[in-house]
């Protein structure tokens, strides 16, 4: 209750560090209920399934970490406050610094130009897998003049509709396996 009250009064971003993953998750849920909102409150998890076993990553947590980092950058640009909840194992993991995150981001928008060759090369450089249909973060698909990209920083994939090499439409949609 005190943490919720402090967050309401405070003008800056807050970080609450709890002892472990379970405690952080409970605290996060309690704060969301007390503050009666979901936007601007984030749980920053560890990307690995077990503490200190970095080779066993959990894609859902990698996605959530990327969403939190993107939200922090966006909040900073818009001078908004954010509330973060985490725990030591999650904070001990390396993350991209701000300059690298911005440099490694790909920005595509309606009216922009998309070179297929440069796009394929960039996606492979970033470690994305080319598939027939996207179903999880880190995948992209090209079918004619439709390009689907499932970013690590978004809950749903992006679909780009092309007219030659110009992006004529864009939107987010549920992954193919969930859409039906």
For the cut 70, the answer to whether the pLDDT of residue 66 exceeds it is yes
pLDDT at 10: 78
The residue that leads in pLDDT, 102 or 131, is: 131
Cβ-count burial of 95 within 10 angstroms (0-12 exposed, 13-18 middle, 19+ buried)?
middle
Which pLDDT band, with edges at 50, 70 and 90, does 16 fall under? very high
pLDDT at 7: 75
| Cross-sheet strand order for the sheet of 41-43 | 14-17, 83-86, 41-43
What tens digit of pLDDT does each residue of 142-158 get? 888 888 888 776 778 88
The residue that leads in pLDDT, 98 or 140, is: 140
Listed residue (165, 175, 176, 174) closest to 108, CA to CA = 165
Highest mean pLDDT among 21-30, 74-83, 166-175: 21-30
CA–CA distances in Å: residue 150 to residues 9, 58, 60, 81, 137:
37, 16, 12, 27, 5
Whole-number average pLDDT of the chain: 78
Percentage of the chain exceeding pLDDT 90: 12
Q: What is the mean pLDDT of residues 65-77?
A: 82
Residues recorded for the chain: 180
What tens digit of pLDDT does each residue of 78-105 get? 888 888 999 998 888 776 556 665 666 6
For the cut 60, the answer to whether the pLDDT of residue 20 exceeds it is yes
H helix or E strand, kind and range, residue 90: helix 88-92
Half-sphere exposure of 55 (CA within 13 A, CB side): 0
For the cut 80, the answer to whether the pLDDT of residue 27 exceeds it is yes
Residue reference for tokens 């079918």: 143
From CA 161, how far away is CA 83, in angstroms rounded? 36
Hey, is 25 helix, strand or coil? helix
From CA 82, how far away is CA 128, in angstroms rounded? 29
């Amino acid at each position: 209750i005190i943490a919720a009250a402090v967050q309401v009064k405070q003008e800056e971003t807050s970080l609450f560090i709890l002892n472990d993953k379970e405690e952080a998750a409970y605290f996060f849920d309690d704060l969301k209920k007390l503050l009666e909102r979901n936007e601007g409150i984030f749980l920053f998890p560890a990307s690995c399934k077990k503490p200190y076993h970095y080779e066993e990553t959990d894609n859902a947590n990698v996605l959530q970490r990327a969403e939190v980092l993107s939200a922090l950058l966006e909040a900073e640009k818009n001078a908004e406050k954010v509330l973060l909840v985490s725990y030591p194992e999650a904070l001990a993991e390396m993350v991209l610094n701000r300059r690298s995150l911005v440099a490694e981001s790909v920005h595509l928008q309606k009216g922009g130009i998309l070179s297929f060759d440069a796009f394929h090369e960039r996606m492979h450089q970033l470690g994305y897998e080319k598939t027939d249909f996207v179903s999880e973060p880190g995948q992209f698909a090209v079918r004619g003049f439709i390009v689907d990209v499932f970013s690590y920083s978004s809950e749903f994939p992006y679909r780009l509709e092309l007219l030659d090499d110009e992006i004529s439409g864009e939107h987010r949609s549920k992954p193919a396996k969930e859409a039906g």
